[in-house]
């Protein structure tokens, strides 16, 4: 059970005791253990990794590699399948660049209507060069879930399926494992990619159960530092399918003036000095999540989401699955949506909503949330979005609700 005491782990709430931080989908707050882990690196054993023979460098290397192990445990992978990078955007760009040269104008790739720009624009750019078609799994405009009838856009020429585990706008959770399985049946050589940026802090992730080839996430959306992310790749994919996309130190095994050969995985994908403090911080964040327990987090956020939906539904238009329905395709113990609640208020622009709720110390995001095509698709100029994290309380939701009443008073 998570109580409001959890806020004590997050120094931001000491700096701003009345903050109702409802923008965790954009970035989460940092627990003290993460700050401490990074401070320890800087204060006690800062040095480069994999290079020095002296004690503190050995410590730094050990801690960095321990961070990799921790992230592997978090995703249920092997440590060498974990590549550290700067975040989900980097991971998706790297995959698009590295995989697209294998595609031609006869091929297609499949995304969904609800992708973040980071899982759309890199593919558009690569499509200009390699000529493949981009297809979309459709969205049911009433349930805000993917439309199973449109899974048939996946065919034998589909070479890549890349989709988000959960929408950063709608809060909808996608049946990722089911779609990956289907894709592999229809097109055995397909590469499957999961964008877990939005899911990482809110849903259990098991790359073996998902059976995805690749998965990306960002540290700053799971209580970790900014500037760090993970690209997971199945070992065989990293060894035989994915080409290195950055070149330099650490990723090479042998270099002459003419050519170079690559180091083994995962190092061949980590050119240059990595974000060492951030990787150590991220692993502390994963440990923080694991200690609380993902199931406890899921239950906590479900309670809050149900509460928020109940209070908000009479006041606003929810853009996303409104009532969690138990009849969803997903299995035991899982939830049907995340605590990411986008909404509109007729007669009040999202920007004005954001301004007025901010006066009450409520942080929401307004605009298109890096999903412009989705908003246009739904006929919306923008939405306001409230999103929960482990530290979110009913009181935060109550503050939002009363601030929304204020918006309606002004714009009524």
Ligand X SMILES: Cc1ncc(COP(=O)(O)O)c(C=O)c1O
- In the bound state with ligand X, the residue whose beta carbon lies nearer, of 268 and 369, is 369
116 binds, among other proteins, ligand X, none (CB under 5 to 8 A by kind): ligand X
Using rule CB under 6 A, residue 370 touches ligand X: yes
256 and 271 Cβ atoms separated by less than 8 Å: no
Q: In the complex, what is the shortest distance from the CB of residue 388 to ligand X, in angstroms, rounded to a whole number?
A: 14
372 binds, among ligand X, other proteins, none (CB under 5 to 8 A by kind): other proteins
Using rule CB under 6 A, residue 198 touches ligand X: yes
Interface with ligand X (CB under 6 A), residue from 158, 168, 283, 336: 168
3-class secondary structure, 93: helix
Q: Please, which residues bridge with residue 31 across strands? A: none
381 binds, among other proteins, ligand X, none (CB under 5 to 8 A by kind): other proteins
Using rule CB under 6 A, residue 195 touches ligand X: yes
Using rule CB under 8 A, residue 411 touches other proteins: yes
Residue 330: HSE in the Cβ half-sphere, 13 Å Cα cutoff: 19
Catalytic residue numbers read 370
Which residues, in sequence order, are CB contacts of 370 under 8 Å at separation 6+?
Answer: 116, 117, 118, 168
CA–CA distance, 23 with 404 (Å, rounded to integer): 16
Q: In the complex, what is the shortest distance from the CB of residue 119 to ligand X, in angstroms, rounded to a whole number?
A: 6
β-strands 340-344, 214-218: how paired? unpaired
Q: Give the x/- contact pattern for ligand X in 33-72, rule: CB under 6 A.
A: ----------------------------------------
362 and 20 Cβ atoms separated by less than 8 Å: yes
| Token representation of residue 313 | 């539904």
Number of residues that bind ligand X (CB under 6 A): 14
Which residues, in sequence order, are CB contacts of 170 under 8 Å at separation 6+?
Answer: 114, 144, 319, 320, 321, 337, 340, 342, 374
Among 207, 219, 203, CA closest to 88: 219
Q: In the complex, what is the shortest distance from the CB of residue 235 to ligand X, in angstroms, rounded to a whole number?
A: 24
405 binds, among other proteins, ligand X, none (CB under 5 to 8 A by kind): none
CA–CA distance, 9 with 17 (Å, rounded to integer): 13
379 and 1 Cβ atoms separated by less than 8 Å: no
Number of residues that bind other proteins (CB under 8 A): 18
Q: Which helix (H) or strand (E) holds 92?
A: helix 88-99
- Crossing angle between the packed helical segments 32-40 and 276-292, to the nearest 10 degrees: 150
Using rule CB under 6 A, residue 118 touches ligand X: yes
366 binds, among ligand X, other proteins, none (CB under 5 to 8 A by kind): other proteins
- In the bound state with other proteins, the residue whose beta carbon lies nearer, of 265 and 374, is 374
Cis peptide before 112 (omega within 30 of 0): no
205 binds, among ligand X, other proteins, none (CB under 5 to 8 A by kind): none
| Token representation of residue 176 | 């990722």
Q: In the complex, what is the shortest distance from the CB of residue 258 to ligand X, in angstroms, rounded to a whole number?
A: 36
* Cα distances (Å, whole numbers) of residue 185 to 152, 178, 280: 12, 11, 39
- In the bound state with other proteins, the residue whose beta carbon lies nearer, of 59 and 342, is 342
Show contacts with other proteins in window 322-381 (CB under 8 A). 347-352, 354-356, 366-368, 372, 375, 381
Residues that bind ligand X (CB under 6 A): 87-89, 116, 118-119, 164, 168, 195, 197-198, 218, 220, 370
Residues that bind other proteins (CB under 8 A): 347-352, 354-356, 366-368, 372, 375, 381-382, 410-411
């Amino acid at each position: 059970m998570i109580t409001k005491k959890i806020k004590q782990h997050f120094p931001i709430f000491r700096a701003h005791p009345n903050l109702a931080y409802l923008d965790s989908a954009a970035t989460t707050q940092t627990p003290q253990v993460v700050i401490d882990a990074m401070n320890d690196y800087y204060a006690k054993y800062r040095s480069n990794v994999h290079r020095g023979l002296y004690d503190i460098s050995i410590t730094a290397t050990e801690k960095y590699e321990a961070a990799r192990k921790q992230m592997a445990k978090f995703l249920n992978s092997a440590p060498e399948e974990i590549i550290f990078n700067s975040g989900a955007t980097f991971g998706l760009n790297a995959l698009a660049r590295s995989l697209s040269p294998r595609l031609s104008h006869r091929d297609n790739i499949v995304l969904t209507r609800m992708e973040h720009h980071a899982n759309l624009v890199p593919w558009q750019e690569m499509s200009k060069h390699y000529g493949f078609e981009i297809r979309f799994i459709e969205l049911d405009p009433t349930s805000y879930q993917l439309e199973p009838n449109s899974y048939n856009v996946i065919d034998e020429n589909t070479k890549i399926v890349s989709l988000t585990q959960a929408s950063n706008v709608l809060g909808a959770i996608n049946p990722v494992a089911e779609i990956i399985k289907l894709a592999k049946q229809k097109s055995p050589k397909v590469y499957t990619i999961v964008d877990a940026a939005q899911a990482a802090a809110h849903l259990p992730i098991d790359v073996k159960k998902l059976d995805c080839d690749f998965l990306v996430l960002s540290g700053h959306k799971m209580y970790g530092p900014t500037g760090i992310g993970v690209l997971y790749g199945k070992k065989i994919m990293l060894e035989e399918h994915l080409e290195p996309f950055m070149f330099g130190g650490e990723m090479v095994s042998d270099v002459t003036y003419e050519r170079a050969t690559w180091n083994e995985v995962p190092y061949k994908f980590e050119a240059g000095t990595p974000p060492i403090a951030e990787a150590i911080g991220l692993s502390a964040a994963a440990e923080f999540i694991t200690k609380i327990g993902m199931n406890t987090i899921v239950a906590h956020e479900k309670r809050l989401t149900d509460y928020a939906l109940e209070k908000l539904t009479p006041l606003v238009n929810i853009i996303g699955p409104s009532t969690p329905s138990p009849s969803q395709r997903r299995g035991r113990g899982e939830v049907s949506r995340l605590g990411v609640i986008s909404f509109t208020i007729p007669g009040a622009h999202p920007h004005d909503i954001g301004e007025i709720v901010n006066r009450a110390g409520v942080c929401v995001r307004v605009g298109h949330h890096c999903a412009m095509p989705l908003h246009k698709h739904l006929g919306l100029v923008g939405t306001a979005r409230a999103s929960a994290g482990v530290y979110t309380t009913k009181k935060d939701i109550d503050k939002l609700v009363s601030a929304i009443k204020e918006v309606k008073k002004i714009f009524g």
